[in-house]
Structure 1
């Protein structure tokens, strides 16, 4: 792996100066760690875009920066006390760190295809690893295939892999979701970070529905991110959700997560599907990469 460090580089970005404190070319992409005032961000620089994968406030690392990471905690409104958590796609390790603080006895395993990303998470984003919080360098689909063979089960599976342009195609197909379903524990939930603005929106929705049946979209109006909550055996009642909101609210406030507000952003597909009935499902044979340019 070709790796190099650059001396700090000052660039002008918008209304603030940005300081590149680390840059390297990994096997998969250009990786940049950039600071702007109090904000430190991990970015992937690809041919078509430069996107922030993870950010933290240096003065308050506990406080979450991104909308989607906050929305992910809607998962806790539909499942209780996860004891085994699988995260596909590490970024800066933000989700793993917060979940470890919330559930210090839970086993959390992070899967990241790029060893350079894991090292950057350790060196620049306070990524916590110990006996209960572990990581492996592997393609997420291969990891899940092997986990299924070993009959491993997870209460909370978070799909957060991103290659800099979009979610990798082989992690968006019916066959992959069936593999994910096979390692989901009874009463567990799958939380997938995806986009409302993608041209694949309808195809993704149809594919999740084909495998998991009715699911929950969590999204803010006029925002590009959405979290899909899937794999639920039953949808909790409004009373159950409200009980969980009251229990979680004081625990999540330090992370900047307003779980009560997030509970109002949950849209149930059983109440109406927003994609045509004849939408094509994504498969290993049909996964149109041309639609990824959105």
Structure 2
């Protein structure tokens, strides 16, 4: 081999060695099969993630930075806090779908007087959240093992009301079908305070996009999409009847910026991602509404 070629190969090998030395390999620190799913907890460097499907690299349900547990990881989690542009000082919060407990922990720190109820169908997920993701419980923050829809039905019978309802339930593929129907949204509406807000974590890339939008509109009227261009996540804000003026948004941005900054939430940037559906329906008028009888599972893959 020519001397110059030898040094070139050596140089390339050194660069590759340097590159791979900085790459962290995911390490499984917990694995179990629960009643509902496979549960894995993986660590990649400073990142710890909860997964429900070991075959997919995109199946993380919740993640935390081990050295900065307060800082939020996912874009959608940050977008949920757009809710606070509509409501102030929520007293009763309901979260359906616990994951690692990130939302509950953050809201509890922001509003220590708030009563927060977390509803999770899988007891194994609650245990993993406690053991691996610093999920904090107290007299005001609780986690209950129950199907979200059953909880809502019982809450309605008890005449309970919530200021902020967060829908974040996923089964590994998509949102459970029975938590996406007109009948469920009507039950949900019955437990929402008159000036409360529902924040639903969903996707703009889903083939169910139009059906979901039509269903929310059928129950709650016009709503707000919170999304960023070229990103698949969207948060639907529904239920709140307050007139949201630019002056009010600016005021809330000013108040919330220092509170949300430690969590990595840029509320000013998020405030510019609000897309109002009033006079701007981006789904056909004849779109079928999802119901308990019509919830096409074949559209779930997106």
TM-score range, shorter chain: over 0.9
Residue 143 in structure 1 maps to residue 151 in structure 2: yes
Could you give the per-residue CA deviations for residues 84-143 of structure 1, whole angstroms, max 9, x where no partner exists? 000000000000000000000000000000000000000000000000001100000000
Question: When you count strand as a share of all residues, which structure comes out higher?
Answer: 1
- Select which of 86, 94, 99 maps to 1:91: 99
2:290 paired with 1:282 = yes
Distance 1:61 1:231, change over 3 A: same
Of residues 21, 24, 32 in structure 1, which corresponds to 2:29? 21
Equivalence for 2:16: none
Listed as ranges, the gaps of 5+ residues in structure 1 are 1-11
The match for 2:108 is: 100
Cα pair 2:29 2:41 within 8 Å, conserved: yes
Cα separation, 2, equivalents of 1:171 and 1:187? 22
- Report SS of the residue matched to 2:108: helix
Structure with bigger gyration radius = 2
State whether residues 83 and 105 of structure 1, in contact with CA within 8 Å, keep that contact through their aligned partners in structure 2: yes
Q: Distance in 2 between matches of 1:63 and 1:132?
A: 22
Q: Distance in 2 between matches of 1:59 and 1:120?
A: 19
Asked if residue 253 in structure 1 is aligned to residue 261 in structure 2, the reply is yes
Equivalent residues in 2 for 1:211-250, closer than 5 Å: 211-250=219-258
4+ runs deviating over 6 angstroms: 46-49
**Distance in 2 between the 1:201 and 1:110 partners?**
26
Counterpart mapping for 1:119-130 below 5 A:
119-130=127-138
Higher helix share: 2
Aligned to 1:196: 204
Q: Which residue of 1 aligns with 2:52?
A: 44
Give how far 1:234 is off.
2.7
CA distance in 2: counterparts of 1:234 and 1:173, whole angstroms: 25
Partner Cα separation in structure 2 for residue 181 and residue 222 of structure 1: 31
CA distance in 2, matches of 1:192, 1:50: 20
Corresponding residue for residue 14 of structure 2: none
Task: Provide, for residues 204-244 of structure 1, a one-character-per-residue CA deviation record: whole Å limited to 9, x for no partner.
Answer: 00000000000000001010100000001133111111100
Structure 2 match to 1:167:
175
Question: Paired residue for 1:177?
Answer: 185
Partner of 1:269: 277
When normalised by structure 1's length, the TM-score is 0.94
Aligned pair partner of 2:213 in 205, 209, 213: 205
Structure 1 counterpart of 2:7: none
Q: Root-mean-square deviation (CA), in Å? A: 1.4
User: Aligned residue pairs: how many?
Assistant: 282
